[in-house]
């Protein structure tokens, strides 16, 4: 199985390097929000949409090992490509508009809900949820399916919010996917194990260029797609509750935004954090970007070990 990871990683290294040069020539670059920390202004002009290289690598690696393309792997690929398309459209709109404003929230959420619903519908049609037990097993089917759609959309946007520092989202995605990989191994689901090895290898190759100072960002193309797949695989493995622990960094980042916005509205202008998402709060508190990323990775590792211990 290690050869699958290595093939994916090497394809990703070459694909990401190619994408960096290709996008530089065509000015497909990141535009920084005006209210972002001033230290981020140096990132202006860095190529974005690096998720294209990650998605390409995953698809090619799985086609090379097509004997592992089980129905569940195929519908997970559908989820990956569907959310990547939404992210790519969002990224391209930002590039064309030459500002950090892409798709409006409402159509973006509608598209995410539709694709997540199709994914959950395919699983339901295959009778995949017949063996659901525990707390989730007591929910009426319709409520359970709606909850799963919410988990996919929520995870996708949580990773997107986290993708604000060099290597932060990519590193924590690797950690979370590694946790899911161990679950697939324990359940002897080797088809999904191959899928995860392809994803982890692609992220490793991308991270080589994404660590500080990043030469490329994954953009919404990568963050939305990989967040959705993280949730999708957890759902297939019946590890929805463990996903909260595996993705604790993404959860904290999202909660910080929700709390900040809610408190700001309730108090008519007061803030809990210096800035949200949470990584910006630590930036404005004097932490260097590499320190924040490394410590968030450490939190992710500990959380993954806890999830494996209770899973």
Confidence band (pLDDT; 50, 70, 90) for 37?
Answer: low
In the predicted model, is pLDDT for residue 40 greater than 70? no
What number is the average pLDDT over the span 189-213?
96
pLDDT for res 129: 84
pLDDT for res 135: 62
**C-alpha span between 158 and 243 (Å, rounded):** 12
Confidence band (pLDDT; 50, 70, 90) for 118?
Answer: very high
In the predicted model, is pLDDT for residue 208 greater than 90? yes
Here the tokens at position 56 are 């390409």
Place of tokens 């339901």: 124
- Least confident range from 15-19, 127-131, 279-283: namely 127-131
What percent of the chain is predicted at pLDDT more than 70? 94
Quote helix, strand, coil % in the chain, to nearest 5. 75, 0, 25
Residue spans per domain, the chain = 2-243
**C-alpha span between 191 and 172 (Å, rounded):** 23
pLDDT for res 32: 61
pLDDT for res 239: 93
What number is the average pLDDT over the span 10-37?
83
Confidence band (pLDDT; 50, 70, 90) for 2?
Answer: confident
**C-alpha span between 58 and 197 (Å, rounded):** 9
pLDDT for res 136: 72
For 213, 238, 296, the CA distances from 148, given in Å and listed in that order, are 36, 11, 26
pLDDT for res 39: 63
pLDDT for res 97: 78
In the predicted model, is pLDDT for residue 33 greater than 80? no
Confidence band (pLDDT; 50, 70, 90) for 139?
Answer: confident
- Least confident range from 40-44, 67-71, 87-91: namely 40-44
Instruction: Give the DSSP letter string of 259-288.
Output: HHHHHHHHTTS--SSSSSSHHHHHHHTT--
In the predicted model, is pLDDT for residue 34 greater than 70? no
Which of the given ranges, 29-38, 91-100, 180-189, 243-252, has the highest pLDDT on average? 243-252
pLDDT for res 122: 95
Cα torsion angle, 106, 81, 96, 34, sign: positive
The pTM (predicted TM-score) of the whole model is 0.94
Name the average pLDDT for the chain.
92
User: What's the distance, CA 134 to chain centroid?
Assistant: 27
In the predicted model, is pLDDT for residue 160 greater than 90? yes
Which contacts of 304-308 are long-range, i.e. CB under 8 A and separated by 24 or more positions?
Answer: 304/175, 304/176, 304/178, 304/179, 304/245, 304/246, 306/245, 307/179, 307/242, 307/245, 307/246, 308/179, 308/182, 308/183
In the predicted model, is pLDDT for residue 13 greater than 90? yes
What number is the average pLDDT over the span 224-252?
96
């Amino acid at each position: 199985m290690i050869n699958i990871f290595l093939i994916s990683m090497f394809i990703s290294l070459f694909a990401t390097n190619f994408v960096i040069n290709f996008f530089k020539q065509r000015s497909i670059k990141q535009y920084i929000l005006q209210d972002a920390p001033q230290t981020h202004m140096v990132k202006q002009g860095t190529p974005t949409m690096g998720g294209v290289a990650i998605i390409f690598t995953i698809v090619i690696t799985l086609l090379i090992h097509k004997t592992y393309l089980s129905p569940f792997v195929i519908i997970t690929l559908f989820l990956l490509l569907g959310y990547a398309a939404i992210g790519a459209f969002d990224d391209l709109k930002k590039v064309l508009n030459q500002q950090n404003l892409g798709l409006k929230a409402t159509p973006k959420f509608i598209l995410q809900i539709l694709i997540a619903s199709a994914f959950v519908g395919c699983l339901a049609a295959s009778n995949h949820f017949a063996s659901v037990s525990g707390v989730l097993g007591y929910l009426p089917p319709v409520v359970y399916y709606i909850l799963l759609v919410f988990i996919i959309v929520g995870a996708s946007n949580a990773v997107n919010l986290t993708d604000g520092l060099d290597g932060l989202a990519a590193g924590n995605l690797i950690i979370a996917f590694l946790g899911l990989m161990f679950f697939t191994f324990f359940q002897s689901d080797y088809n999904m194990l191959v899928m995860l090895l392809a994803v982890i290898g692609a992220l490793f190759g991308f991270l080589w260029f994404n660590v500080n100072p990043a030469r490329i960002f994954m953009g919404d193309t990568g963050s939305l797609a990989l967040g959705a797949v993280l949730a999708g695989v957890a759902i297939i493995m019946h590890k929805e509750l463990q996903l909260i622990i595996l993705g604790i960094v993404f959860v904290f980042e999202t909660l910080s935004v929700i709390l900040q916005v809610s408190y700001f509205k309730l108090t008519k202008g007061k803030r809990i954090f210096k800035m949200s998402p949470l990584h910006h709060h630590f930036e404005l508190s004097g932490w260097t970007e590499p320190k924040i990323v490394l410590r968030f990775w450490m939190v992710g590792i500990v959380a993954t070990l806890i999830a494996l211990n209770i899973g």
